[in-house]
Each structure stands twice: as C-alpha cells, then as structure tokens.
C-alpha cells in the first residue's frame, strides 16, 4: 500500500481515510436522491422516515426528492429486516425498514448505506481508533467486526 491506500479484492486500490464509495457510478448524481416510500407504513414510521431524511439534509449537501420518473431511485420499503445496499446501484434500490427498524437512528443508518457509507468499525484503519474485544462478541457475530476488504 502507498500513501494511505490498500488493495482490496486483489486489484482495487482504496484510500483508508475514506469510508464512502468513491466510484463515480455508485454516487448519487448532483447529490439528489429520488425516493419512494411504501404506503403500508403506519403514520408513526412515516414520521420517523421524514425526520431521518430531514436530519441527513440538515447536516449534508444531499437532498432527497420524491421520485418523478428517474430510473435510479431508493424505495423505502417495509420488508423483513433492516438493510440497504451501499451506494447507488442503478434502477430501483430497496432500503428495508422492517419491524423493529422504525427508529429515526436506524432509518438514518440504512439511508447512509444507500448514500454510499460503510460501517466505521470495518474500516481498514479502525484499529488506530478503537479496540475490538472479541470476548464480548458472540462467535456468530464475528463477521460484523471483520475488516472490509
């Protein structure tokens, strides 16, 4: 590795100081994220989604806008579990806000993945900043603290 960079997957050069996608094809164009929201959410969850979007917009240059006819967009859906792909993937892209995922913090977390952010604790330089105490982690959860490479 040269100048704070490392190789991942054998041939991809990454910057250890970055924790977001850098490939042009995975970022949201013009910092605008078209989105839709499932109509099946209860009013309380819709309010948490609204507050999560508002907070991201307050502290960034990203803007969410209701989808009109964009090809690439986020679908905030009531699917089982809490998950999202990292970065723009092309076409409709599901962000799952299932049962137990309805808090503003969890919604922000999943939307940040959709914007291109990985987990901080999987950064290649994480050991410079935190200590992982494996004895405190269930063995079946070790992959949650593995380095992203």
Q: Which of 37-41, 84-88, 114-118 tops mean pLDDT?
A: 37-41
Global pTM reads 0.78
CA distance 27 to 70: 15
According to DSSP, residue 73 is labeled E
Q: Which of 87, 84, 149 is nearest to 123 (CA)?
A: 149
Span 120-142, pLDDT tens digits: 777 788 888 888 888 998 888 77
Q: Which residue has the tokens 């499932």?
A: 38
Integer Cα distance of 50 and 54 in angstroms: 6
CA angle 106, 53, 44 (to 5 degrees): 65
Spell out the domains of the chain, with CATH numbers in brackets: 5-19+121-145 (no CATH), 24-117 (3.40.390.10)
Rounded to the nearest 10°, the torsion over CA 79, 84, 89, 93 is 20
Q: Look at residue 22 in the predicted model and tell me its pLDDT.
A: 58
**Residue from 55, 70, 110, 120 carrying the catalytic annotation:** 110
Please give the annotated binding residues for Zn(2+), written as ranges. Answer: 109, 113, 119
Catalytic residue flag (residue 110): yes
- Higher pLDDT: 124 or 10? It is 124
More confident position, 147 or 48: 48
Distant-in-sequence, close-in-space partners of 36: CB < 8 Å, separation ≥ 6:
66, 67, 73, 74, 75, 76
15-73 pLDDT per residue, tens: 555 555 556 678 898 899 999 999 999 999 999 999 999 999 999 999 999 999 999 99
């Amino acid at each position: 590795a040269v100048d704070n960079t490392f190789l991942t997957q054998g041939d991809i050069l990454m910057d250890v100081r970055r924790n977001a996608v850098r490939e042009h094809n995975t970022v949201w164009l013009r910092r605008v994220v078209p989105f839709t929201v499932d109509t099946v959410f209860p009013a309380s969850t819709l309010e948490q989604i609204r507050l999560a979007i508002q907070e991201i917009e307050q502290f960034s240059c990203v803007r969410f806008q209701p989808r009109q006819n964009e090809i690439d967009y986020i679908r905030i859906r009531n699917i089982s579990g809490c998950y999202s792909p990292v970065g723009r993937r092309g076409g409709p892209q599901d962000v799952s806000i299932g049962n137990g995922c309805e808090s503003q913090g969890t919604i922000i977390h999943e939307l940040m993945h959709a914007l291109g952010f990985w987990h901080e604790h999987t950064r290649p330089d994480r050991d410079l900043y935190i200590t992982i105490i494996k004895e405190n982690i269930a063995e079946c959860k070790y992959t949650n603290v593995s380095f992203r490479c």
